[in-house]
Structure 1
Amino acid sequence: MSANTDRYENAVARYFEAWNARGFEALAKAVDAAWAEDGRYTDPLADAVGHEEIAELVSAVQAQFPGFSFRPTGVVDGHHDTARFSWELVNDAGDPSSGGGAAPVAGSDVITLDAQDRITSALGFLDRVPAGS
């Protein structure tokens, strides 16, 4: 792990802020803070380039999983301009009897940062997805 872990942890924190932002203005602001203007997000189900496409993708995922939020699992590991981390999508309700806390989706992502520590590339790997996704 790099001695400059704050750089990676801060970038990943902004990444999760974007994925969890609610409302058009908050989402647009969070995507702008996290990604470079021509940044890209790619996973097995999606490929989005630029702030508008990334915000549309995040909004679509939020619509597919209302009441859920992304949270990190484990530690952020990084070197040079690259960081990796794992995450899960959890029910905000938190009540296990109503499915709260259950994580229907989980994965690991690798991000590449520019000189301003904004994401130029995010590669998502899905470790767990609901049937039919």
Structure 2
Amino acid sequence: MSTLDDLILKYLDVWNARDAAARDALIEAVLTEDAIYRDPDHAGVRGHRELSDMIGRARKRFGDMVFTLGTVIDAHHDTALFTWRLGPAGTDAPAATGYDVVDLAGDRIRRVVGFFE
């Protein structure tokens, strides 16, 4: 597994963390302080606090469902594209799937743009 794959898996761990303190520690390790997150439901979440708060609200809606990595499609320069799945743990029948484009700053993620299928 590559360093990029490891970083993406840690990013998905952020989304799977139900405990706010654990999620905050993961966010600090995985995303830059000025990180930006956008998807069809969120225009521009900025920084660790906003990201943690938004994910905390999403975790309540997702219940026991978890994010898993689909495929790291491609990466070049400081940008990567991957697919993800959201569904019950241990199943191959996701409730939702999508794509994320991430921009990197060193060994952390600086920007995430998500797309839902």
- Above 0.5 in TM-score? yes
Map of 1:66 onto structure 2: 63
**Amino acid of the structure 2 residue aligned with 1:45:** D
> Larger Rg: 1 or 2?
1
After superposing on structure 2, the runs of 4+ consecutive aligned residues of structure 1 that deviate more than 6 Å are: none
1:7 Cα deviation after fit: 3.3
User: How many residue pairs are counted as aligned between the two chains?
Assistant: 116
Q: Does 1:44 align with 2:35?
A: no
Q: Does 1:114 align with 2:73?
A: no
- Give distance in 2, aligned partners of 1:125 and 1:86: 9
Q: Tell whether the 8 Å contact from 2:35 to 2:48 is kept in structure 1 after alignment.
A: yes
Q: Deviations over 1:59-112 (max 9, x none)?
A: 1111011001000112352111111100010113x4xxxxx6532221000000
* SS of 2:27 mapped into structure 1: helix
TM-score (norm 1): 0.80
Q: Tell whether the 8 Å contact from 1:9 to 1:76 is kept in structure 2 after alignment.
A: no
Map of 1:29 onto structure 2: 25
Q: Does 1:124 align with 2:108?
A: no
What is the root-mean-square deviation in Å for CA atoms of aligned residues? 1.6
Q: Tell whether the 8 Å contact from 2:38 to 2:114 is kept in structure 1 after alignment.
A: yes
* SS of 2:49 mapped into structure 1: helix
